[in-house]
Amino acid sequence: MITTDFLPGSPCWTDLSSPDVEASAAFYRELFGWQAVEGGPDSAGYRYLLLDGAAVAGLVPFMGESERPAWTVYFSDPDVDDTVLTVEHLGGTLVVEPFDVLHRGRMAEFTDPQGGYAGLWQARAFRGMEAADRPGTLCWVELWTPDGDGARDFYAELFKWSYTGFSLPGEAGTYTIVTPAGQGRDRAHGGIMPVDPAQLAATGGAADWHPVFAVENCDAAVERVRSAGGRVYTGPESTPGVGRLALCADVFGAGFVLLAPSPM
């Protein structure tokens, strides 16, 4: 469960990078009912995506030619400057050095040793998502990685996460449920799934963090993805104890998962 109390090491925000923010905003408006609003005169085109007036994600225009359309998951961190030192000590790579985002907070971005891209957010005036774990909002994050053991070791040291694993069908390996430090399973916020590098073609074989957005009806949401110009790669399919889900991409290929959770 993702909440908005933002324990250290828990997801607190997601940004979408886009080559055309107007087109991306139109896609997610049709899918989730999100409204895009300008971040202000000093925001360099950044937009907040709102659901019923609550900020649930961000939309940022490309800043360089090498960027690709993608969602970036940010994790709450009380001391970004200290954490990036740990990232590098553990074999990760600092991609964006810590900097202040006006008065809102301090951020940095990194890749883990398997290439998974993520961000750190040290909140000040802006804490992060104002709504979560309900239809149209972030409810889970999932890391697809070519090295499950390596990923677990890295994030256990970085964020002090605790893990619960269970075997996947066939030879798929072990899926690991991620829980913030010192918390019970009711506060689990994500998973780590080992995959064949061939399944990571969009990232050239590097690990990839996926946001999972809750929906009321996965089948209906999938039809909205298609009608808005997106793609559906797998599903909808039902997973016992989890819900009905589908792996999708938006009009520019940024990947995400839709999940209609099973009743508790």
Nearest to 131 by CA among 73, 56, 47: 56
Residue 67 neighbours by CB under 8 Å, 6+ apart: 17, 19
The strand ranges marked E within 42-133 are 47-51, 54-61, 70-76, 93-101, 105-111, 117-123
Tell me: cis bond preceding 41? Omega within 30 of 0 counts: no
> Which residues does the chain have with pLDDT short of 50?
none
Coarse DSSP helix, strand, coil percentages of the chain, rounded to the nearest 5 percent? 20, 40, 40
At 181, give phi and psi (nearest 5°). -55, 130
Residue 79 is predicted with a pLDDT of 97
Query: Does the 138-261 domain belong in CATH 3.10.180.10?
Result: yes
Neighbours of 29 (CB within 10 A): 14
């990760």: which residue's tokens?
A: 92
Positive or negative: CA dihedral 80, 85, 90, 96: positive
Q: Which amino acid is at 96?
A: V
> What fold characterizes domain 11-123?
2,3-Dihydroxybiphenyl 1,2-Dioxygenase; domain 1 (3.10.180)
Please choose, from the candidates 248, 177, 240, the residue with its C-alpha nearest in 3D space to the C-alpha of residue 215: 248
Sheet containing 93-101: order of strands: 35-38, 47-51, 54-61, 11-18, 70-76, 117-123, 105-111, 93-101
Same CATH topology for 11-123 and 138-261: the answer is yes
pLDDT of residue 198: 72
User: CA-CA distance, 36 to 59, in Å (whole number)?
Assistant: 8
86: Cβ contacts below 8 Å, ≥ 6 apart:
157, 158
In this prediction, residue 155 carries a pLDDT of 97
Q: pTM to 2 decimals?
A: 0.94
Alpha carbon distance 116, 114 (integer Å): 6
* Per-residue model confidence (pLDDT) at position 195: 84
Could you tell me which residues come within 8 angstroms of residue 17 by beta carbon, excluding any fewer than 6 positions away? 60, 61, 62, 67, 68, 69, 70, 72, 254
Of 118, 42, 114, give the one whose Cα is nearest residue 80. 118
Predicted pLDDT at 67:
80
Query: Does residue 85 contact residue 91 with C-beta atoms inside 8 Å?
Result: no
Query: Domain spans of the chain?
Result: 11-123, 138-261
